[in-house]
Amino acid sequence: MSADVLATLAKQVTGKAQMAQREHKGWDVWLLFTVFVLIGLGLVMLYSASAVMASQRMAGHFHLVSNQLTKFGLGMVLLIAGLKIDYRWYKRLIYPMLGGVFLMLVAVLIPGVGAVQNGARRWFSMGGFSFQPAEVAKIIAVMYLAYSVSKKGERMGNFAVGFIPHLMTIGLMVALLMKQPDFGSSVILLTMMMILLFVSGAKVVYLSIFAGLGAVGAYIAITNSEYRMKRIMAFLDPWSDRRGIGYQISESLIAIGSGGVQGKGLGNGTGKLGYVPELWNDFIGTIVAEELGLWGVVLLVGLFAMFIWRGLKIAYHAHDSFGAYLAFGLTAMFGLQATANLCVVTGLLPTKGLTLPFVSFGGSSLIMAMFATGVLLNISKGAPDLWELSKADRKKHRAQRKWDRKRDRILNRRDDLRDKFDEA
């Protein structure tokens, strides 16, 4: 078949394809690239941080990395699922998903069902695999808020409609998280709720009153807990109890300071020799600063800034308000958690037990973060909501997709033939 015939056929197919818009504009490659770089950096630093400890206490120096790679594989499955499933399906299933999350948060508190680690009952543990329902709760909370505020629209300025229902739902979720206890996730959830309510039109006076009440509640929660009070004291002056409650943050600051601008070099850090607890988990930012120096920290912060930029861009270009709020909420949540984690390891915030998204060791965090990435990618595709169309229109849309694929194959074949003719 000659190039001219192919060109003629391509024009005919293109003409028929104009009966509808193309299915999508393509998902955000830069967001996916950023996430993979963060995960890759996390695996490298995880090995550097844990190899010595794992070789002494576990099956081998590669133990935690192999565990994380397994979770990465599960995360890839959920990322692809999030990419393939139309995000508008979540608003149709939001209340069953919300009910499932509440059941998990209640079940994890039951002795014998929820596993206790480091004095907190936050995990389900089965056959060596542990899962933290709080990570699911954060994603579903964003979906619920995005669905609710998009549905209420201009009524968000009404106190009874735009504020109370969200406060009650997220407040109950936070109450269950505090029973575990999980103070860090609770703060992230409440802050994310405030941000979403603000951008969706809730009155500032309501949010200000709630922020004031929240500050009082946080003060009571801290002062009534000896452990939290010690953490605050360690935050204010970690050197006053250098060998006690201030040990982790003071060792983190020493390791960061010793890294300087250039860093000690990958694998040459000393914090991993038992000086900085949880170095491969909540404090993985410490070993990045110690071994890769200021430039490593700039790279890490730059990657999260790229993630936030792409997420906000997806929200801005979303085709409907639900997609916009969902993309904004997920982006805000990961941005808040990354900021909080990096502030903790540098002594700018009290220790909260929050992982660094995509980077820290932790299966639940990585798996759900990758699923959320898939959801963001699905929103970025800009695909039409087929279930809002009539049966006849859905049939036309499916036919349109077939024409699009056929046209692309013909155009690609035409370009290949032209290249061959040019070379001849």
Q: Which of 240, 241, 257 is nearest to 346 (CA)?
A: 257
**What pLDDT is attached to residue 219?**
78
pLDDT digits (tens, 9 = 90+) for 175-234: 999 888 888 888 899 999 999 999 988 888 888 888 888 788 777 877 776 767 777 777
Name the residue with higher pLDDT: 224 or 298. 298
What is the residue whose two structure tokens read 């997920």?
330
DSSP per position, 134-150: HHHHHHHHHHHHHHHHH
pLDDT digits (tens, 9 = 90+) for 18-75: 433 344 457 889 999 999 999 999 999 999 888 878 777 777 778 888 889 999 999 9
Query: Which band of pLDDT confidence, cut at 50, 70 and 90, is reported for residue 351?
Result: confident
pTM above 0.75, yes or no: yes
Query: Which band of pLDDT confidence, cut at 50, 70 and 90, is reported for residue 1?
Result: very low
Q: Which of 139, 45, 43, 28 is nearest to 94 (CA)?
A: 139
**What pLDDT is attached to residue 18?**
40
Distance CA 81, CA 244 (A): 46
3-state secondary structure of 125: strand
**What pLDDT is attached to residue 326?**
95
Distance CA 199, CA 206 (A): 13
Lowest mean pLDDT, pick from 185-189, 294-298, 371-375, 379-383: 379-383
